[in-house]
Structure formats: structure tokens, C-alpha cells
Amino acid sequence: MPSTGYAHHFSDGNVPFGIASSKVHGNPQAVTRLGDDLLFLDCLASQGLFSSVDGLPSAVFQHDTLNEFAKLPRAIHQAVRETIRKVFQEGGISAFGSHGMERADRVTMHLPVHTGDFTGN
């Protein structure tokens, strides 16, 4: 489980993407972290948070790796981050609602990407 002692590394200036699961969110899926809270991105997407992000596939955050999201143009990654920042700056962490949010010490982190056979064999 991720530690809650590193909240200062996860401000709205650093919106990282990762993969996590929990008792509530049983399947590993895309998340970001703000402070000591993880936001399950598919929950936010289903609430329409990213509806203004052109080119963002509807189920891209449901995958158990970030590979499909990583394939998207950088402009889409930036737009997702900017949307998260804007909501956080305007309303704080509570602006995301509690449905897609979990404390860092209540989730299990997973490898974020599938690397396959990168040795060439």
C-alpha cells in the first residue's frame, strides 16, 4: 500500500498516472493522486469530468495498464491533467466527490504498463 507520508509530492503541480485497485474498486484501473487521495479516473470519466477532452476514448481508464492511454497524443494527456488541476484548484479534493476517491493507504498499486518482450527474443 502506498504511504500517506508523501502527500507533498502529489500536488496539483504533479498529476501522475498509475494503476491501482482497492476493496471498493476491485479491478486494477487508472488513477491519479492528489495529496493522500487517489482518484479513480474511470469513475470521474463516467461522471462526465473529461467530456470536453477531444479524442479521449470512453473506456480508456478501465484498462489494467496505462498502455492504451499512453498511446494517445500528448495533447490528450495534457488536457486530462489540466481538467484535474482546474477542478482541484476551484473546489479542492472534495470537488471530485467521494465515489471515485480513496485514501492512499487503502489501495494497492500495480505495475502501470505492460512492457512485453523488450529484449528482442
Does residue 115 belong to any structural domain of this protein? Answer: no
Would you place residue 113 in the very low, low, confident or very high pLDDT band (cuts 50, 70, 90)? confident
Does residue 40 belong to any structural domain of this protein? Answer: yes
Residue 83 to residue 85: CA distance in whole angstroms: 5
Torsion of CA 100, 101, 102, 104, to 10 degrees: 120
Our count of domains for the chain comes to 1
For residue 115, the model assigns a pLDDT of: 83
Q: What is the pLDDT of residues 90-99, one digit of tens each?
A: 999 999 998 8
Q: What is the pLDDT of residues 49-88, one digit of tens each?
A: 999 999 999 999 999 999 999 999 999 999 999 999 999 9
Give pTM, 2 decimals.
0.87
Q: CATH no. for residue 25? A: 2.30.30.230
Does residue 116 belong to any structural domain of this protein? Answer: no
Q: What is the pLDDT of residues 6-49, one digit of tens each?
A: 545 455 667 999 999 999 999 999 999 998 899 999 999 999 99
The answer to whether 49 and 83 are in contact (CB under 8 A) is yes
For residue 13, the model assigns a pLDDT of: 67
Does residue 16 belong to any structural domain of this protein? Answer: yes
Q: Quick one: how far is CA 51 from the chain centroid?
A: 16
Instruction: Give the residue numbers spanning the domain of 60.
Output: 7-110
Does residue 92 belong to any structural domain of this protein? Answer: yes
Does residue 1 belong to any structural domain of this protein? Answer: no
